[in-house]
């Protein structure tokens, strides 16, 4: 595998684990706000991010590439408001999309069709996650900090498995 593609994929393993950590931090914040279903929603998201990291990890090993298991950066997860927390998640999803696109660009430049095929899944996944996080921001903006509304939204989120 091309060195740049391999390095970017390695870095992405770490970024996906960081994403899991960030979502766990957001989940913790919602637990502390007494919004258990919001908390559960972001905990599911944290689990999904670990799966993403493992997808790239397994792909690299399948290609006989090494995987560096670097330190995962600390997550502060201190938010002033519920809106701040959901906006942080939305901002992060856009950042991750940009990172996936950078790897895709490198794979295209190298005519690395196998990596492009693997990354196609991530391109679709990011589309879905950006849509979810955008909707979450819109809902929280509409409902504001009204306790009853947030309780209802918390119940609506309970649908997510």
Q: Which residues bind ligand OFO (CB under 6 A)?
A: 16, 19, 49, 52, 93, 96, 125-126, 129
Burial per residue of 7-41, b for 16 or more beta-carbon CB atoms within 10 angstroms, e otherwise: ebbbbbbbbbbbbbbbbbbbbbbbeebebebbbbb
Nearest-approach distance from CB 113 to ligand OFO, in angstroms: 22
Nearest-approach distance from CB 131 to ligand OFO, in angstroms: 11
By beta-carbon proximity to ligand OFO, the closer residue of 19 and 27 is 19
Nearest-approach distance from CB 97 to ligand OFO, in angstroms: 8
Residue 143 burial (C-beta neighbours within 10 Å; 0-12, 13-18, 19+) = middle
Longest dimension (CA), the chain: 54
Joined tokens for residue 70: 């670097």
By beta-carbon proximity to ligand OFO, the closer residue of 100 and 150 is 100
By beta-carbon proximity to ligand OFO, the closer residue of 23 and 29 is 23
Nearest-approach distance from CB 95 to ligand OFO, in angstroms: 8
């Amino acid at each position: 595998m091309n060195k740049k593609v391999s390095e970017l994929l390695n870095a992405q393993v770490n970024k996906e684990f960081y994403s899991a950590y960030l979502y766990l931090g957001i989940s913790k914040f919602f637990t502390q706000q007494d919004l258990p279903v919001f908390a559960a929603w972001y905990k599911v998201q944290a689990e999904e991010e670990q799966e993403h990291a493992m997808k790239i990890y397994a792909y690299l090993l399948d290609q006989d590439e090494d995987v560096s298991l670097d330190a995962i950066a600390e997550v502060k997860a201190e938010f002033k408001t519920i809106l701040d927390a959901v906006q942080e998640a939305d901002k992060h999803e856009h950042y991750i999309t940009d990172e996936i696109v950078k790897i895709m660009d490198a794979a295209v430049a190298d005519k690395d069709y196998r990596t492009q095929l693997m990354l196609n899944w991530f391109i679709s996944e990011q589309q879905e996650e950006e849509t979810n996080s955008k909707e979450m921001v819109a809902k929280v903006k509409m409902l504001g900090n009204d306790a009853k509304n947030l309780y209802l939204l918390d119940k609506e989120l309970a649908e997510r498995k």
